[in-house]
A and B are shown apart, each in its own frame.
Chain A
Amino acid sequence: MGRPALADCSSKLFMSTFFLLRLTFSCIVMSSPVLAQAADKRITLLLTGAACPQSRAALERKVLEVPGVRQIDLHTVPDHVLIDGDTAVVDVELLASQVNAILATHPPCRATIMTSCISSDFRVIGAQAAPGISSIVQIGH
């Protein structure tokens, strides 16, 4: 799609921004310029380890106590935890370490920031995105 559109200024900006972004796992990265004003964002963490199913209850309870966290979802995507939080308060790396601190009582289970092709996080990199989208979205393979 968008063959002629790629020639115009906004598309040039968009495409050039692409190449300034980190390429993680061969994925192309994009985010919103208005991230600082966005309120809620979803953080996705991958859970690995045999004890993860047993840690769900504790995780659900304790993550909600973390300042800025509004919601936690362990059911939508298998082996992942989706955490909705206030972007002004929640830092993704800090949250991941807080989650791992909770999981430390249920070894072996570990949370890592989802950085695959469809991951998103809070970091600002200044590309244009659709209105209402303030997370970084990565795609490719």
Chain B
Amino acid sequence: MTQSSRASCLLAGAASLLAAGITISSPAWAKTHEIAMTALETDVVIDGSGEKYAAWTFNGQMPGPVVRVSEGDTINFTLTNPAENKNPHAMDFHAAEIDFLKNYRAINAGETISYTFVAKKPGVFFYHCGAPPMIQHVARGMFGAIIVDPKNAKAWPKANREYVLIQSEYFKNPGDVQAMFDRKLDGMMFNGGIFKYHPFVTGGGKLDAKPGERVRIYFVNAGPNEFSSFHPIGEIWDNVYESGNPGNSLRGVQTYVVGPGSAATFDVVVESAGAYPLVTHSLTGALRGAIAVLVASPDAKPAPLMPMVPWKVATPQTEITPVPTP
């Protein structure tokens, strides 16, 4: 083989490898998503009395916005840390398989970081700020969920209704990092609210379904420390998918443990009308706020994936005296 023909072969090989690489990372059905988030240090409402919390957030909400893509999609992500902030921030996507050092580094106020990853594995995944002290950044609200839908929609039963629930701990003094290390939590939240979906508590709402519907809960435990023992009172999980991957399926599960930084997808087919509280059966967490009541009623309105909005109090709470700090 001559030198020029060897060079041609190498060039052709390199070209084919490049083409193969492109094929793997960007199949025809895959999409590319531009996801931009801004770290905002701002107050959020955390209970039905209107109590505010000095949170650190993605896009001003706790949890941050739900990112939803399909298996194989490419995510071009950008995090902005505005100059007005006082702290470094970062972003760690558990759905990504990329270099931690380069991509998940903390950026200072006034800086921006961008990186790209392919969501190769289906499931529901945690995302969070990884800036030190990470325990504080997570406790103060810098977390969220990314759902990677399986490219084969028939990999699991079709859900009639979907919700996202993110469990996290509440520490009343957001500056007390030692209390976070000591696990001295003051409340347990679903989607950034204490008893946010408990209709028997002032300001609390509920989750809706119709009897017979397959309700799919994308569940993330943001922690930062405590395990969730997720259980539907009055029901049994028809399916549990570890990490939300259809390939990791369990059937007929009463309670399933989701550790901090982990996630699972839960399906329940509610057989009859009534109320079905979804709780962490670690009762110190449930009784401090981690109860979401699923109300099954024939006249339940259709609903898309649960929007991640800040707590909205159903009635004006201006006349309510805040509960004093003990």
Contact = CB atoms under 8 A, between A and B. Distances in A.
Contact of B46 (A42, A132, A141): A132
B283 A120 contact: no
Q: Chain A interface secondary structure, helix, strand, loop or mixed? A: loop
Contacts of B46: 132
Contacts, number: 151
Interface in B227-261: 227-229, 233-234
Contacts of A32: 323
Contacts of B194: 130-133
A137 B47 CA distance: 15
Given A34-B323, A42-B202, A14 B284 contact: yes
B226 A5 contact: yes
A65 B320 CA distance: 19
A132 B323 contact: yes
Nearest to A7: B183
B49 A130 contact: no
A67 to B, nearest CB: 15
Nearest to B321: A39
Nearest to B279: A139
A140 B28 CA distance: 50
Interface residues of B, number: 58
Nearest to B315: A71
Nearest to A138: B287
Given A1-B227, A40-B49, A135 B201 contact: yes
Interface stretch (B89-97, B112-120, B127-135, B291-299): B291-299
Interface stretch (A90-98, A99-107, A111-119): A111-119
A130 B288 contact: yes
B312 interface: no
A131 B200 contact: no
Contacts of B202: 40-42, 84, 135
B284 A2 contact: yes
A84 B315 contact: yes
Contacts of B185: 2, 5
Interface string A6-38: 101011001100000000000010101110011
A12 to B, nearest CB: 12
A83 B171 CA distance: 30
B284 A139 contact: no
Given A30-B287, A139-B279, A4 B323 contact: no
Which 7 A-B pairs give the minimum distances between C-beta atoms? A1-B226, A130-B187, A5-B183, A132-B47, A1-B282, A1-B227, A132-B51
Given A37-B323, A118-B275, 16 more contacts: A1-B282, A2-B285, A30-B287, A40-B320, A44-B200, A77-B206, A129-B287, A130-B170, A130-B195, A130-B288, A132-B51, A133-B195, A137-B287, A139-B233, A139-B279, A139-B286
